[in-house]
Amino acid sequence: MDVFILLLEGIFVSFEPLNLGLLIFGCLIGLFVGAMPGLGSVNGVAILIPITFIIPPTAAIIFLAAVYYGAMYGGAISSVMLGIPGASTAVATVFDGRPLAVKGEAMTALTAAAVGSFVGGTVSVILFTLFAPPLAEVALRFNAPETFALMVMAFATFVGLGGDDVPKTIFSILIGLALSTIGLDLITGKPRLIFFNIPGFLHGINFLVLAIGIYGIGEMLWTLEETKGKVQMSKLSVNMKEVGRAFGALKKTIMAMNIGSFLGFFVGILPAAGATPASLMSYGITKQLSKNSKEFGSGVPAGVVAPECANNSASTGSMLPMLTLGIPGSPTTAILLGGMILWGLTPGPLLFTQEPEFVWGLIGSLYIANFFTLVLNIALIPAFLMVLRIPFAILAPVIFVLCVTGGYAPTQSLHDVWLMLLFGFAGYILRKLDYPVAPAVLSIVLGPLAEKALRQSLILSDGSMGIFFDMAEKPIAAIIMYIAIVLLIMPAFGPLYRKFFKKAQTT
Amino acid sequence: MSIIKKLALVIVSLSLVAVSSVSSAKPFSPKKPIELIIPAGQGGGADEIARLVQGVIEKNDYASKPVIPINKKGGSGGEAMTYVKKKAGDEHTLIITLNNVLTTPVNQPELGIDFFNDFTPLARLITDTFLVWIATEGKNTQGVETFDDFIALAKGNGLVMGGTGSMSEDELLLGMMRGQFGFDAKYVPYDGGGAVAKGLVGGESDFTLNNPSEQMGFYQSGDSKALVMMTPERNPAFPDVPSSYELGYPDLEYYMMRAFMAPAGIDAEVEKYYTGLLHTVYHDNEFQTFNIDDGKLMSWLEGFGLKDFLAIEYAKHGEIIKNFN
């Protein structure tokens, strides 16, 4: 098989001393930028691009891909240990990772994150190796109506996300959607909802600002109230029994791994979506399909595995359209794409044949980067756990500083820091009133994607919604749309269904 | 930077201070990192050039302080321009331009930006051109071989054009062509030139008016073809594509300028320093090769020539916008 020879050559390329050294170095940097709130893979890669002018393109892409990859792993660390999403891609990891840590099962959460990431990353790179060209064709046929249908499907899974209180969940979704419309109108380019004419609103509400505010500041306030500044957990031991328990818990997460890997990869190869929506959607769908969906949010390993698996899978997936079509599948690949052009490569359909060493070197390096980050992460778990032994009175100011820098970093604007603090207090109050906040965070990410796809589709169809249900012309869109409707109705009938199902089981 | 280099720098700057105290003219050099504001998102054309300039400066140590690119993409450049306007007199801020610096002050008068008095133009480095692209296997553009075929087809049928957003360069161009050739198209906005190119090849749109680099991959693979380039002459990167002058449409000429500006109210010495820095970057081998291969036109312009050019372009864009609505 041609593919395997090429892949082997690629793996050899990534074992060259310079490449291997850069790969390991890149993974470490990635872990760091991923774990630092506000510094995600986007910033990490953007900052490092100028350095890559002095090394060959293959080494450069291996290095930057390792940074990208490591960041997917690293994001989980601060999500679990501090309750601040380390990167936008790890926001969904907070949902269950943080409660697990608070319950004293941080070890399980970190193991689940590392293993989940490894599985997602490996499955996707295998899919990438085997099916890159046909998948590029799929990405090419996936246009505005299909994207909107997919977004509707994602929103449908959110309704079940906030537990049984559907009205409160819908309220939360609508708040997120309203916030996502602030800034620039996506189609006409006119400013929209610029409160008090403050220029900072022109770039909209950055989703990380909301997530760091709600989860970082809100969580900090909440924990301060609960622990009164004392050490959060006193009993924390790392022994073989704990390790065994952590790995044992993974048995129940096989479904989450499957959903995360395949959904993540698929969302990743679609243009403009990327790892953040993929991880959020994977969480929503896993929860929806899980037998014990009610426990999600209170700390289940599957709730950590689903998003972590998906974000690694999607980050590999998003390199596919970058390489084969020259379009970024995520914000980070947008910068990588710029890098490729600066290194003198032309991304596009011919890249695989013109630059085999570059392409296959990158693919080969992904296998190795995955393995390396898994080992590194598992080995470092005891070090990460030390964080929980610090009294919260000391930890709280550190978290606060991390939140402020995290809110500032993406746009370098103080305006966003104030907004972040405001969201922090709002998040704290919402939590006191028992409102689910996750759906708001999800909708601020997917809102703009959905709005754009909807309006593009409606321009194409001259305003007719029929474009989404046209089985003859756009079968993919129609099928996804029908699935979405079923998913939307499910939570309403869910309790009825479960009642019926349980009865059938017991008799 | 090595210690010896640093020492050398200190000695040089000390001697410069000594000289300047005699001659009283003080040459400027940056005292802290230089902010390079990009009025567009990461990964776009302006971002690419800004990061290339940053890379060339860092790699060759052209400046004594680092250059930090900052994306402020909000409000079609409105956010970036408001930011630079507020920085009047600041000696460590630069902005790279897209043509949105010419249109946004007109389209968004509420921002209160005065294009001619709020900025200090430094230099234009590059101009980027536009082409009319169709998909080689486009289902609605079958049999179209030349630009005239295309005009004939577009007049009768409402074709779909993919573009980079409302009031962006390519939508203004569509407006220009509507006036010149009497056809209209359904305009669908996408996220950036790459997505526009994909929409064309994926069959969602019938034609696009993309920059050379945005469609290069699909051009080389034969998935899309160009009918005309909106310049007086052919471009070496696209030898088989006729220019609009050749086809007898000299009015169909349009450029995207990649220029740099500083805030208003900076000293002449500061202006001179940055213009000099950009000039060094412009003549850098790597910078030249990259841009020429990418189909861009190297077109250095500074001083009064640049001011005239900007005034003409500003008036031209005002006219296009007026006719647009």
Counted residue by residue, chain B has a size of 325
Q: What is the CATH number of the domain that holds B36?
A: 3.40.190.150
Q: Is any Cβ of chain B less than 8 angstroms from the Cβ of A459?
A: yes
User: Which residue in chain A has the smallest CA separation from B292?
Assistant: A344
Q: ∠ at Cα A101 (A95, A106), nearest 5°?
A: 115
Per-residue pLDDT band at A160 (split at 50, 70, 90):
low
Residue B16 lies in a domain: no
Per-residue pLDDT band at B13 (split at 50, 70, 90):
low
Pairing of strands B159-163, B119-129: unpaired
> Are residues B122 and B262 both part of a single domain?
yes
> Are residues B96 and B159 both part of a single domain?
no
> Are residues B148 and B114 both part of a single domain?
no
**pLDDT exceeds cutoff 70 at A296:** yes
| Calpha distance A222→A94 (Å, rounded) | 15
Residue B50 structure tokens? 């800004």
Give me chain A's average pLDDT, please. Answer: 84
- In sequence order, what are the residues at sequence separation of 6 or more whose Cβ sits closer than 8 angstroms to the Cβ of residue B76? A184, A189, B39, B100, B103, B104, B107, B108, B165, B167, B168
Residue B142 lies in a domain: yes
| Closest listed residue to residue A289, CA positions, set A259, A252, A248 | A259
Which chain B residues are within 8 Å of A452, Cβ to Cβ?
Answer: 191
> Are residues B140 and B102 both part of a single domain?
no
Q: Is any Cβ of chain A less than 8 angstroms from the Cβ of B199?
A: yes
| Calpha distance A452→A449 (Å, rounded) | 5
| Calpha distance B106→B29 (Å, rounded) | 35
- In sequence order, what are the residues at sequence separation of 6 or more whose Cβ sits closer than 8 angstroms to the Cβ of residue A167? none
| Closest listed residue to residue A430, CA positions, set A75, A125, A169, A240 | A169
**pLDDT exceeds cutoff 70 at A67:** yes
Q: How is A313-331 classified by DSSP, letter by letter?
A: HHHHHTHHHHHHTS--SSH
| Calpha distance A447→A465 (Å, rounded) | 18
Please give the model's pTM, rounded to 2 decimal places.
0.81
A:142-161 residues touching chain B, CB 8 A cutoff: 142-144
- Domain span at A167: 2-506
Q: Do B217 and A203 touch (CB under 8 A)?
A: no
Residue B13 lies in a domain: no
Under 8 Å between Cβ of A457 and A145: yes
* C-alpha dist (Å) from residue A250 to A111, A212, A380, B157, B246: 9, 28, 19, 59, 68
**Backbone phi, psi, residue B264, to 5°:** -70, 160
Three-class SS of residue A206? coil
| Calpha distance A69→A30 (Å, rounded) | 7
Residue A388 structure tokens? 């929980």
- The total of structural domains in chain B comes to 2
Residue A488 structure tokens? 């939307």
Counted residue by residue, chain A has a size of 507
* C-alpha dist (Å) from residue A479 to A269, A468, A494: 19, 9, 22
Q: Indicate if the alpha-carbon torsion angle B130, B136, B140, B144 is positive or negative.
A: positive
Residue B247 lies in a domain: no
> Are residues B316 and B167 both part of a single domain?
no
| Calpha distance A435→B313 (Å, rounded) | 53
Residue B217 lies in a domain: yes
pLDDT digits (tens, 9 = 90+) for B200-254: 998 899 999 988 888 888 888 889 999 999 999 998 888 899 999 999 999 888 9
pLDDT digits (tens, 9 = 90+) for A362-415: 999 999 999 999 998 888 888 888 877 788 788 888 888 888 888 887 777 889
Residue B169 structure tokens? 């360069």
| Calpha distance A80→A99 (Å, rounded) | 8
- Domain span at B138: 131-229
pLDDT at A350: 84
Domain boundary among B229, B244, B265: B229
The Cα of B51 is separated from the nearest Cα of chain A by a number of Å equal to 7
Q: What is the CATH number of the domain that holds B170?
A: 3.40.190.10
**pLDDT exceeds cutoff 60 at B9:** no
Give me chain B's average pLDDT, please. Answer: 86
> Are residues B110 and B140 both part of a single domain?
no
Residue A431 structure tokens? 């939590």
* Residue from the list A140, A186, A459 with its beta carbon closest to the beta carbon of B198: A140
Under 8 Å between Cβ of A144 and A460: yes
Q: Is any Cβ of chain B less than 8 angstroms from the Cβ of A47?
A: no
Which chain A residues are within 8 Å of B78, Cβ to Cβ?
Answer: 191, 199, 202
- The total of structural domains in chain A comes to 1
Residue B20 lies in a domain: no
> Are residues B119 and B140 both part of a single domain?
no
Q: What is the ipTM of this complex?
A: 0.78
Q: ∠ at Cα B167 (B305, B121), nearest 5°?
A: 25
Residue B304 lies in a domain: yes
The rounded percent of chain B whose pLDDT value lies above 90 is: 43
| Closest listed residue to residue A273, CA positions, set A39, A449, A439 | A449
User: Hey, how many other C-beta atoms are within 10 angstroms of the C-beta on A384?
Assistant: 19
Residue B244 lies in a domain: no
Q: Do B59 and A350 touch (CB under 8 A)?
A: no
Per-residue pLDDT band at B1 (split at 50, 70, 90):
very low
> Are residues B124 and B166 both part of a single domain?
no
